[in-house]
Structure 1
Amino acid sequence: MSAFLALLLTALTPAGDLLGVGPSLVLRSLALLGAVLAVVMTVLAWRREDLAALLLGGGVALRVIAAELPPIGHVVLVSPGQVLLLASVALVGVAGVLVGRRGGGWRRVAGALVAALSVARLLFLAVTMWSPLLLAVPQENLLAVFAIAPALELATLVVAATLFVPAVFGRVGRGAKWLWETAAVR
């Protein structure tokens, strides 16, 4: 359950970026809650030896930490926040590859989609962080260009969340069935 909530709560931040809502206290608090749940998911995945969930939880937690780090300024070319952001995107992409390789049917497709979206986001972030190609974009188109990264992040997190829906609701369904079968009063 924590994996599903972590992904959805963390996906609210790029949705707010797309809608033009600044980093408000509510969005930052929900993202922080998502990071805490991602850490819980990571610990549980480590105990279950589930490498894909471990990488996904670590990537989500790193994303929130990277967003909260202040930029260093123009003194260095690469800030720690940028490195953590790229590492988080790479971790989520590797988790998608692992799910795609070991899953079947729609899980394989969703894992491949998570991996492809992560690669696209990683390339876009690398180009916007360190390439002079952004200088060639006209100023009136910059808003559309900078909406690409949050859109890719939102799509990645929503597809990754769908990977965990059967696991979450399957356990809830089994628990509800057990409660119904063992109830003394019906």
Structure 2
Amino acid sequence: MEVEDFVTPRSASENPQRSTSLTSLRTANGGSLRNSFLYAKLREEPIKLSVRKLDGSFFDVEILKMATIADLKLAVEHVFSQMPDQGLGEISWPHVWGHFCLCYDAQKLVSDTDLVVKYGIRDGHQLHFVRHVSSIYNLTKTRSKRSVARKRPYLLKSTSSLKSTLKSEKNVEEINALGR
């Protein structure tokens, strides 16, 4: 990280644009000097995690401490996209996340909206892949089978309805012949 990424506290005299708001804060606070410094929110330091693949090899990822599981997955995808091509070809991430998930301390990290800190994950911890069939992946797979079934041509009607259809077509032909 660059030094510019961090903002140091400044007094009101160093930042004339904000001096008016400081004055009003002091007045509202009974004139206390407690609010004499402005603090900008410091950027979070990234945490470094080690991930063990199914083949036993490791790779490292960096995420923010307050990252979600979805952010962690994106970081994993990014690491793989930066690796030199080792004959793996194109990785289908929906397929990967549909069959595998990351795991920490026997907890499957499957809820994309959960924060990683919810699971107690901190800098230097190790995660690993485990087999897991996602219900979302199964739902998508089921839907695609249904849509394929819908796209197939319908089977012929029963023989009795087929005969009645043919009779009505014959009647139409006879009526058309009379009209000529």
Of the two, which has the highest radius of gyration? 2
Query: Which has the bigger relative contact order, CA under 8 A and spacing at least 6?
Result: 1
Question: For the superposition of Structure 1 and Structure 2, which TM-score range results when normalised by the shorter chain?
Answer: under 0.3
TM-score in terms of structure 2 length: 0.23
When you count helix as a share of all residues, which structure comes out higher? 1
When you count strand as a share of all residues, which structure comes out higher? 2
TM-score in terms of structure 1 length: 0.22
